[in-house]
Amino acid sequence: MVAQTRGAGQVSPQKLKFHDKLAGKGLSTDALLKKLKGLHTQLAELDQDRVDTSTLATARKELIHNTILLHKDRGVKAYAACCLADILRLFAPDAPYTHNELRDIFQFFFRQLATGLKGPDSPYYNEYFHLLESLSTVKSVVLVCDLPNAEELMIDVFRDFFALVRHDLAKKIELHMADVLVALIDESTTLPSELMDIIMAQFLDKNVGHDNPAYRLAVQVCNTTSDKLQRHICQYFTEIIVQHTPEEELDDVRKAHELVKQLNKSCPSLLHLVIPQLEEELRVEDLTLRCMATQVLGEMFSDKGGMDLVRKYPTTWNFWMLRRNDKSPVVRLAFVEAAHGLLVNLPEQKDVVEEALGTKLLDPDEKIRAAVCKLYSQLDYETALHHVSEQQLRSVAERGFDKKGVVRVEALNSIGKLYSLAYPEIENGDQGAIKQFSWIPQSLLKMINSQEVKAVAEHTLAEFVFPLLASSREADMDESVWTDRLLTTMKFLDEKAIASLISFSGLKLARPSVYERFVQCCRENNAGIIDENEEDTVRKLNACINRLSATLPDPQKAVDDLSAFAKLNESRLYKLLEVCMDPQTNLKLLVKSSREFLRRLEQSSAGILSTMGTVLRRASLRLINQSSVPSLLRHLQRGDPTGDGYGTSQAQLLANNSQAILSSISKHCPSIYKAHIGELTKAIADEKNPRLVEVCLQALASLTNWDEKLAPGDKRTGERVTRSVLEDNHRHAKHSARLLGKLKNGEKLSSDAVDTIANDLTDVDEHKLVAHVAALVEFARTSPDAFESRSETIMNFLVKKVLMSPSPLSPDDMDSDVEWVENDNLSSSLRTRILALKVCRNRCLAHVASDTALEVTTPVLKMFFTLLEHNGSLHGNGKDDPQVRARMRLQAAVSLLHLSTVSQYASAISQNFALLAITAQDPCYQVRMIFLQKYITLATRQLLPPHFNVIPFLTVHDPEPDVKATAKAYVELAYRASSPSARVNRFEMIFVQFLHLLAHHPDFALTQEGLPDMAKYIDFYLESVASAENVSLLFHLAGKAKTVRDSESHLYSEYLYALSELSQHIIKALAKARSWALQSIPSKVKMPTGILRPLPNAEAANKILKQVFLPAEALDWVNVQSRSSKAGGDARALDRPKPIRKHAGKRKELSIGRMVMRSKLGLYNISALFNPTHEATTRE
């Protein structure tokens, strides 16, 4: 306590007691240090308000002596600095020194701090801290601002402090430094640009962040002095922008914009004058500046404080949003790339941002579209769920059909990643996740049918929707989890998508597959070292490579990669690939082998990894394999305890999907069941679960058909199967009949069953009759001897009592236009009719090798064609139920396709081929579509004669886009996958037969209204098949059509000649538009026999060649169309409006062509055809 006078209560002034000399000769360092310590102690105890400053005069002068300030000892200088700081404190606010002396003092201060304040362990740390604390609290440092060289001193202070603070000093020191720098900024009238450079440099450091002390110091100083620094920051930014010219380097400008972004994150208040300047940059013509401003503002708006920025600067926000339509794609790209954070941090602007990004999905520049799609792949689950609409995600998915591959990849990659993130919530039944994301697999499966998108869609499905088990330890791989993911995903698929999923799974792959043949050819090729049959071996390998490459995204690269794989000739790779392709491989082995295959391939030849990865995925059963069967059977048991199959519970949905998969395995790859015969045999005894029994019977029947040695041999199973054949469940009866013939004593068991059924046909009710006929369908094919023993009884019953019985329209359905009924809703009567037609078909197929084949088949073919001629009726009066007629003509057409796989039957069917082919134009959508799908199934396996390949081209006028798209996709894939000789035989030489079919088409007419439709058919064909290599051949074939005549009538010949001229004109126009050369064909081309005949003599041939059969108006029309095509149109410009309808009305009246067909085919007494004792009759 300071003593006070007793009388007046006044505080006596404090006086410095130190009077020793500090400067002079003969004073040792230790003595000087001791004196300075004493002086420092006394000065520190003096109070500024009570000190008698006159007592400080001696010390004040001696402390600034050169012998002190320039002393070599650090301790002397440290204590001297502390004493000087105390002197300034005690004299404040007036300094007892001149400007020059103050300059020297402050330079001395900052030099001591810069060299001595290194950390608590450094010498004289406490003294240096005292000095800094004094400058901070007393604010004596503001005296610097009044000195002549103030700017230089300030620059040194800022530079030294930012360098010093990086030594990771105590927090107190950092705060004191900030106080010193803030005091200097607040007190100064101007700030030198170099000082601003020093401050701003802290925000451009590569280690920017709150872990960096220099950055923390700069942030604290800037935020504290923001009002003062705003103008200087704006000036700093402006000088950099103004000084740059387009020719100069832009590094400084880029750094300035980076600086603005950093300042916005840490010191946004500094940018009050900078943001309007950025807005002006959005308007400038300089592309670089405009792009930088767009990017910087975008990141600022996307930051966490972006919403505040939008509210403060609404005009800047609105003008930035307009950059989405900037004339430069570079700026538009910058806009899109900066928009990621907008979705997260600007919830109030969600609709505006989404609308902007939605328009950019349709930007003319593919880089912009790809960038928008990629943006959504970077979102986390919560953002995608709450801040993105379902419609926007669907719009991204639609970019999967984009013309540019990079956009397709980014779009599908985005939705695939989002589905992968959302799947756990979908599995848990989260309704928000289900609504937002569960549609994604369906969308991807829809894209698989497009050849351009197929590879990308498959990769997305394999990578994100159905990824292989992630665990690297075999013991941790849970196969049931894998199967459950498949079933859960299927809950949200429609029937069409499930069919695509089955195709994607590889189950439908014909085995041995082309992939297996490729591996075998690689082994035989032995890297080119071949002992015998070298030419044949190389040819087989090249054929496999060409066929495989045609199905891959980049055929030429695929050829190179597959050839490179063959040259590697690594037996281990071959073995691993064979293991992956083997249907008996379980999931764990498949995962292990796949990983090793890809790892080895990457090590030996990384360049072919993408192609071989696609081959591996398509060749292996990675989605559905033998490990899936136990889980599928378990779900089927749990989900359908009552056997009705129509429940809507989650367990029931899983059971429905399990049945769909198991049925597909039975149809396409029954060998998967080989390891599960015991489970299947046991399951057919579960009479309480009819659906499980049905699936297991189907599985056993298919498995034993694949390998008869695997048929169950126990007596009890045989008895169960025999009972099922005779029961009233038509599905059980069908599969049991197929299985029965493979069991022990199968022939006798089948014969007994046929006898029982034949005897009961007239006595059973309608429901059981369906089951009996379903069994007969199988017996007719698999047990022909047993069937033929009672064939007369059976066939007479089926024809007279089933097929010939009337099916009048119900009074309740008189006004109905519905022409189709789904399988589940078929009446027993209609189902029996359809099965009866299948019996007839299978009986014909079973007699292929017999001497009575034609005798058995002829009446069947006539019946089928009669059904086609009369729109599904055998009576010709048109009074049958339209739903019955639609089903009957579909079954007749499909049966004719199956019979056409037999060469001797195909010849007979080809006589009325036009009538079969135009089923592709049936008024009923379902008839057209199913007929086309059945055709594609058979044609893909090359089971049909080449001229059947004209059928897809009849879909060009279809009102439903998916029909034409399906046909076009098949033609493109089949054409690409065919060898050069197969292309000529199956797609190019059929051109004359296609023209012949068009000449016989019911709608053909030599009128201005009719010929455009014919031209559309030809255009579609040429669009799918024509190329620079074959256009000369097609032109030659079109011309050769005028060198023959139709085998039926002169009228058809004239139609053919008109089509010949029309096609020549169209081919010429196409060749001219695409700069293709039309060359002469030196070799002779053989014309189709049977449908065409040679002309009687040369005179007739010459006359026909000179005569023009095409009306003059048609030639003018063709010329107009060719000019429009050259101007940028294509064959699609020939489209004319067609009625859009799924369920067409009644068929149009027979045209002249149909009437000619009728007179040629005749109407048959169907019952007489199947009864050899009656003479077949016809009616005119």
| CA–CA distance, 819 with 504 (Å, rounded to integer) | 32
Q: Can you tell me the distance from the alpha carbon of 354 to that of 357, in angstroms, rounded to the nearest whole number?
A: 5
Residue 131 has pLDDT above 70, yes or no: yes
Pinpoint the alpha helices (H) of 530-622: 534-549, 555-568, 571-581, 587-605, 609-619
pLDDT at 8 over 80: no
Q: Band of the pLDDT at 148, cuts 50, 70, 90?
A: confident
Mean pLDDT for the stretch of residues 201-222:
82
Q: Is 893 a residue whose pLDDT tops 60?
A: yes
Tell me, rounded to whole angstroms, the distance of Cα 578 from its chain centroid.
Answer: 28
Give the Cα separation of 746 and 722 in Å (integer): 10
pLDDT at 1: 33
The phi, psi pair for 14, rounded to 5°, reads -90, 140
Return the minimum-mean-pLDDT range out of 22-31, 515-524, 682-691, 981-990.
Answer: 22-31
CB count within 10 Å of CB 1021 equals: 25
Radius of gyration of the chain (CA): 45
Flag the least confident range among 164-168, 595-599, 712-716, 930-934: 164-168
For residues 981 and 646, the model is more confident at 981
Select the more confidently predicted residue: 553 or 1177. 553
Q: Which residue has the higher pLDDT, 351 or 1180?
A: 351
Q: Is the pLDDT of residue 1129 over 70?
A: no
- pLDDT beyond 80 at 291: yes
Determine the Cα–Cα distance for residues 551 and 514; give it in Å rounded to an integer: 11
- How many residues in total does the chain contain? 1180
Model pLDDT, residue 1151: 33
* DSSP H/E element including 1164: strand 1163-1164
Task: Tell me the CA distances in angstroms from 435 to 183, 387, 397, 439, 983, one per residue in order.
Answer: 59, 14, 15, 8, 46
CA distance 522 to 520: 5
Per-residue confidence (pLDDT) for residue 26, from 0 to 100: 61
Please report, for residues 67, 311, 808, 819, 923, the alpha-carbon distance to residue 815 in angstroms, rounded to integers and kept in the order given: 121, 63, 14, 12, 18
Is the Cβ–Cβ distance between 939 and 970 less than 8 Å?
yes
The pLDDT tens digits for 946-997 are: 999 999 999 999 999 989 989 998 998 888 888 888 889 999 999 999 999 9
Q: Which residue type occupies 545? A: I
- pLDDT band, residue 561 (cuts 50/70/90): very high
pLDDT confidence of residue 245: 55
3-state secondary structure at position 934: helix
For range 1027-1035, the mean pLDDT: 92
pLDDT at residue 134, as a whole number:
84
Question: Do residues 706 and 670 touch, judged by C-beta distance below 8 A?
Answer: yes
What integer is the mean pLDDT of 1079-1090? 82
Q: H or E segment at 291?
A: helix 287-302
Share of the chain above pLDDT 90, in %: 43
| Predicted pLDDT of residue 470 | 60
SS3 1092: strand
Structure tokens at 1036: 């030659």
Backbone angles phi, psi at 347, to 5 degrees: -60, -30
Nearest to 871 by CA among 825, 822, 927, 828: 927
> How much is the pLDDT for 1117?
63
Q: Confidence class of residue 242 from pLDDT cuts 50, 70 and 90?
A: low
- DSSP state for residue 494 in the 8-state scheme: -
What's the confidence (pLDDT) of residue 991? 93
> How many whole angstroms separate alpha carbon 666 and alpha carbon 675?
14
pLDDT at 930 over 50: yes
Q: Assess whether pLDDT exceeds 80 at residue 376.
A: yes
pLDDT of residue 863: 94
Mean pLDDT, the chain, integer: 84
- Asked if pLDDT for residue 777 goes beyond 80, the answer is yes
| pLDDT given at position 137 | 84
Among 208-222, 1018-1032, 1144-1158, the range scoring the smallest mean pLDDT is 1144-1158
Residue 679: exposed, middle, or buried by beta-carbon count in 10 A (0-12, 13-18, 19+)?
middle
pLDDT band at 1130 (very low <50, low <70, confident <90, very high): very low
317-321, 691-695, 910-914, 1172-1176: least confident range: 1172-1176
Residue 759 has pLDDT above 80, yes or no: yes
H or E, element range at 630: helix 629-639
SS percent in the chain: helix, strand, coil, step 5: 70, 0, 30
Q: Name the residue with higher pLDDT: 373 or 1106.
A: 373
Helix (H, G, I), strand (E, B) or coil at 890: helix
| Phi and psi based region of residue 528 (left: phi greater than 0; alpha: psi -120 to 50; beta: remaining) | left
Q: What value does the mean pLDDT take over residues 764-784?
A: 92
How far is residue 811's CA from residue 364's CA, in Å, rounded to a whole number? Answer: 57
Q: Give the number of other CB atoms < 10 A from CB of residue 902.
A: 19
The confidence band for 344, taking pLDDT boundaries of 50, 70 and 90, is: confident
Over residues 1049-1057, mean pLDDT = 90
Q: Which amino acid is at 103?
A: R
In which band, very low, low, confident or very high, does the pLDDT at 1146 lie, cut at 50, 70 and 90?
very low
Q: Which residues pair with 1179 in a beta bridge?
A: 1163
Q: Identity (one letter) of the amino acid at 412? A: L
Say yes or no to pLDDT of 1140 above 70: no
3-state secondary structure of 1094: strand
Per-residue pLDDT of 588-627, as tens digits, reads: 999 999 999 999 999 999 899 999 999 999 999 989 999 9
- Give residue 742's Cα distance to chain centre: 45
* 814 — pLDDT class (breaks 50, 70, 90): low
Q: Give the model confidence (pLDDT) of 655-676 as tens digits.
A: 989 999 999 999 999 999 999 9
pLDDT in tens, 840-854: 999 999 998 888 888
The SS3 call for residue 4 is strand
Map residue 1045 onto helix, strand or coil.
strand
Contact by Cβ (8 Å): 214, 198: no
Query: 34 to each of 18, 29, 75, how far by Cα in Å?
Result: 12, 8, 10
Percent of the chain surpassing pLDDT 70 = 90
- Name the more confident of 1149 and 825: 825
DSSP state for residue 877 in the 8-state scheme = S
- What lies within 8 Å, CB to CB, of 93 at 6+ separation is none
User: How far apart (Å, rounded) are the C-alpha atoms in residues 569 and 199?
Assistant: 64
* Encoded amino acid at 292, one letter: M
pLDDT tens-digit map of 400-448: 999 999 999 999 999 999 999 999 999 999 999 999 999 999 999 999 8
The secondary element (H helix, E strand) that includes residue 869 is helix 853-869
